[in-house]
């Protein structure tokens, strides 16, 4: 059995001249793109394992050769969101161990370290974004007609050159130069600790997250499969963790081995010089004064919230001069070891308040790096919005002036416009940019974020927006006017609403959408608002233009300062 995979790329030279690199490939589902990147890790099965040799195949016939399958009638499709009276929540991350903290808890409710790791948290169901009486279930009287899923890859190892590996190198270097180190107290485990993390690819738990998401999505939305007239086409990018996330989702959604023949997978090249709305190249992000705003803000806060931890832990190790950056590395090691190895001794080193500080550090990094506080953010997310408009209106993209890939979107084979279910896999920073481009302003109502304390009225949380396996879901439905609090809605009008990690998003910021207890907006109104947003965001200027950011706190809409924008995009 093989899965049809389309690997497509478009060089991003100019919007008037496109140089295409297209490869149409039929290959086994486990194969990876040549653009997948580094995938070195522990090798299993071991090389030249004798029980894997083809000469033994006759000893292990597959199920079709064995026969005796027993009864195999298939049941009807599920549609939990339309038939259930209550909805399931993701609250834990089995089989991971939920770590304890150092010292006593200060919360009246149980504190969960795994929920306090910013974008490194495993996805969990958000209780509410302000619409307390709305949930993922389809409102009474409404009929679901279409669903759009944008999800992040699953839990992974650290990216190349990240803090955890640098900290391990720092410890290792003391043994190379002959000085060595001695750890005592809470740090005693460092004397025998070894660095066991790979780089960038999915961990076993990360694979499980996407498989479980596929199963969950089938149970919630499987009824829509009956409305397909051909095989579904889903999209991902070419990085190894992205391809494997997409395949694990498909395995959960369609089943094994059915996923190999029941859908088609578009893999868009993720590399410099290629247009890709799910992994956007934005040149101004490479400028330290723009792309580095988030890390600069996070560094300021790091030196505030980790001072007590530094005073407590530094005396417990000789031969190594601990810094707040080392402690931040340890907190990241907790996050990465937890999702890779199931448990990490680094988690137990920090107090509840220090974990809240870590969570807020990543909020700062996202707000100023790929959220409302960075001038490139709306541009990074606007390509997906352009594609969303095309799908909702079933109108091909006429002008490719963002990150959209003409090689894909100009073909109804690789970019169908009439599917009942759309599934796209992306990255945390791209998804955080997309919610800014769509203008979900309720998320950034309390911005900009200070770097010297955690505000009490915070509304922007990276662990709710872009955790591992995050999911942004658009539900299109036909609803009678009685299902909404808005008197403007007509009988049997198409509506749309959005859920982020199972909580309904308020549509504040989306022009024309009424205040609605269920988060619904007339589809035509929503599309008009997205078209207006597309016209407002100047991708070319925001990503390649020459401008300065004198004060990041003045940016709250993901765009360059208004007084520096071209007049046509200064809306």
Look at the alpha carbons of 479, 485, 489, 495 in this order and tell me if their dihedral is positive or negative.
negative
Rounded to whole angstroms, the Cα distance separating 454 from 355 reads 12
Compare 486 and 158 and report the one with higher pLDDT. 158
pLDDT at 56: 79
**Rounded to 5 degrees, what are φ and ψ at 539?**
-60, -45
pLDDT at 61: 87
For residue 158, count other CB atoms closer than 10 A to its CB. Answer: 22
Q: Using the predicted structure, report yes or no on whether residue 208 has a pLDDT greater than 80.
A: yes
Compare 193 and 482 and report the one with higher pLDDT. 193
Longest dimension (CA), the chain: 79
Alpha helices in 438-486 (DSSP H): 462-465
Tell me the two tokens of residue 130.
């302000």
* pLDDT band per the 50, 70, 90 thresholds, residue 10: very low
For residue range 159-189, what is the model confidence (pLDDT) as tens digits? 988 999 999 999 999 988 878 899 999 999 9
Angle at 464 between CA 460 and CA 467, to 5 degrees: 125
Compare 243 and 105 and report the one with higher pLDDT. 243
Task: Could you list the beta-strand ranges (E) of 153-308.
Answer: 182-183, 233-237, 264-268
CB–CB of 341/102 below 8 Å?
no
Averaged over 492-511, what is the pLDDT? Answer: 96
Averaged over 470-483, what is the pLDDT? Answer: 87
Strands 3-11 and 19-27: what pairing?
antiparallel
pLDDT at 57: 80
Q: Chain-wide mean pLDDT for the chain? A: 90
Q: Using the predicted structure, report yes or no on whether residue 406 has a pLDDT greater than 50.
A: yes
Nearest to 428 by CA among 507, 492, 476, 363: 363
Averaged over 132-140, what is the pLDDT? Answer: 94
Q: Using the predicted structure, report yes or no on whether residue 342 has a pLDDT greater than 80.
A: yes
Rounded to whole angstroms, the Cα distance separating 215 from 208 reads 10
pLDDT at 200: 95
pLDDT at 492: 84
Q: Using the predicted structure, report yes or no on whether residue 339 has a pLDDT greater than 80.
A: yes
Q: Using the predicted structure, report yes or no on whether residue 74 has a pLDDT greater than 60.
A: yes
pLDDT at 357: 98
pLDDT at 26: 29
* pLDDT band per the 50, 70, 90 thresholds, residue 53: low
* pLDDT band per the 50, 70, 90 thresholds, residue 480: confident
pLDDT at 18: 33
Cis peptide before 95 (omega within 30 of 0): yes
If phi > 0 it is left, if psi is from -120 to 50 it is alpha, else beta; for residue 394 that is left
- For the ranges 149-163, 271-285, 474-488, 518-532, the lowest mean pLDDT is seen at 474-488
Averaged over 301-312, what is the pLDDT? Answer: 98
pLDDT at 142: 96
Q: Using the predicted structure, report yes or no on whether residue 23 has a pLDDT greater than 80.
A: no
Please report, for residues 13, 49, 200, 367, the alpha-carbon distance to residue 248 in angstroms, rounded to integers and kept in the order given. Answer: 33, 25, 16, 30
Task: Could you list the beta-strand ranges (E) of 171-307.
Answer: 182-183, 233-237, 264-268
Rounded to whole angstroms, the Cα distance separating 525 from 546 reads 34
Averaged over 72-80, what is the pLDDT? Answer: 92
Task: Compute, in degrees rounded to 10, the torsion defined by CA atoms 362, 364, 366, 367.
Answer: 160
pLDDT at 20: 32
For residue range 80-119, what is the model confidence (pLDDT) as tens digits? 999 998 988 999 999 999 888 887 666 677 899 999 999 9
Q: Using the predicted structure, report yes or no on whether residue 42 has a pLDDT greater than 80.
A: no
pLDDT at 15: 35
pLDDT at 155: 98
Compare 310 and 486 and report the one with higher pLDDT. 310
CB–CB of 554/561 below 8 Å?
yes
Q: What pTM value is reported for the model?
A: 0.91
């Amino acid at each position: 059995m093989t899965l049809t995979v389309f690997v497509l790329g478009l060089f991003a030279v100019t919007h008037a001249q496109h140089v295409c690199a297209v490869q149409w490939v039929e290959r086994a589902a486990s194969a990876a793109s040549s653009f997948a990147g580094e995938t070195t890790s522990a090798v299993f099965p071991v090389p030249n394992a004798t029980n894997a040799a083809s000469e033994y195949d006759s000893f292990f016939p597959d199920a079709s050769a064995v026969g005796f399958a027993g009864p195999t009638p298939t049941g009807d499709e599920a549609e939990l969101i339309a038939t259930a009276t209550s909805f399931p929540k993701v609250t834990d991350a089995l089989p991971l161990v939920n770590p304890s903290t150092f010292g006593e808890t200060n919360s009246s409710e149980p504190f969960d370290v795994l929920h306090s790791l910013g974008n490194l948290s495993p996805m969990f169901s958000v209780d509410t974004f302000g619409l307390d009486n709305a949930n993922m279930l389809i409102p009474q009287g409404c009929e679901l007609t279409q669903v759009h899923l944008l999800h992040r890859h699953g839990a992974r190892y650290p990216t190349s050159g990240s803090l955890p590996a640098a900290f391990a190198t720092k410890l290792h270097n003391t043994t190379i130069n002959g000085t060595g180190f001695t750890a005592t107290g809470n740090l005693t485990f460092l004397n025998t600790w070894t660095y066991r993390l790979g780089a960038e690819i999915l961990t076993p738990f990360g694979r499980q997250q996407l498989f479980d998401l596929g199963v969950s999505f089938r149970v919630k939305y499987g009824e829509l499969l009956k409305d397909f007239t051909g095989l579904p086409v889903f999209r991902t990018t070419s990085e190894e963790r992205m391809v494997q996330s997409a395949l694990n989702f498909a395995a959960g959604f369609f089943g094994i081995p059915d996923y190999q023949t029941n859908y088609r997978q578009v893999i868009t090249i993720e590399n410099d010089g290629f247009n890709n709305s799910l992994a956007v190249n934005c040149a101004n992000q490479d400028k330290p004064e723009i792309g580095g705003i988030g890390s600069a803000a996070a560094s300021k806060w790091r030196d505030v919230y980790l001072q007590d931890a530094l005073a407590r832990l530094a005396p417990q190790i000789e031969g190594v001069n601990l810094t707040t950056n080392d402690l931040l590395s340890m907190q990241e090691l907790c996050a990465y070891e937890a999702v890779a190895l199931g448990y990490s001794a680094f988690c137990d080193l920090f107090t509840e308040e220090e974990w809240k500080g870590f969570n807020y550090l990543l909020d700062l990094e996202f707000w100023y790096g790929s959220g409302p506080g960075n001038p490139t953010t709306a541009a990074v997310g606007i390509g997906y919005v352009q594609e969303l408009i095309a799908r909702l209106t079933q109108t091909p993209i006429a002008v490719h002036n963002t990150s959209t890939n003409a090689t894909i979107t100009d073909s109804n084979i690789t970019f169908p416009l009439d599917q009942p279910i759309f599934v796209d896999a992306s990255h945390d920073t791209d998804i955080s940019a997309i919610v800014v481009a769509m203008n979900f302003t309720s998320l950034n109502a309390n911005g900009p974020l200070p770097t010297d304390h955690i505000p009490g009225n915070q509304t922007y949380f990276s662990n709710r927006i872009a955790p591992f396996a995050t999911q942004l879901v658009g539900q299109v439905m036909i609803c009678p006017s009685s299902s909404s609090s808005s008197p403007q809605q007509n009988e049997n009008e198409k509506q749309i609403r959005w859920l982020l990690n199972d909580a309904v998003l308020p549509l504040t910021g989306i022009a024309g959408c009424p205040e609605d207890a269920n988060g619904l907006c007339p589809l035509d109104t929503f599309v008009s608002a997205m078209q207006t947003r597309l016209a407002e965001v100047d991708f070319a200027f925001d990503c390649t233009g020459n401008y300065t950011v004198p004060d990041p706190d003045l940016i709250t809409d993901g765009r360059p300062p208004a007084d520096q924008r071209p007049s046509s995009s200064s809306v």
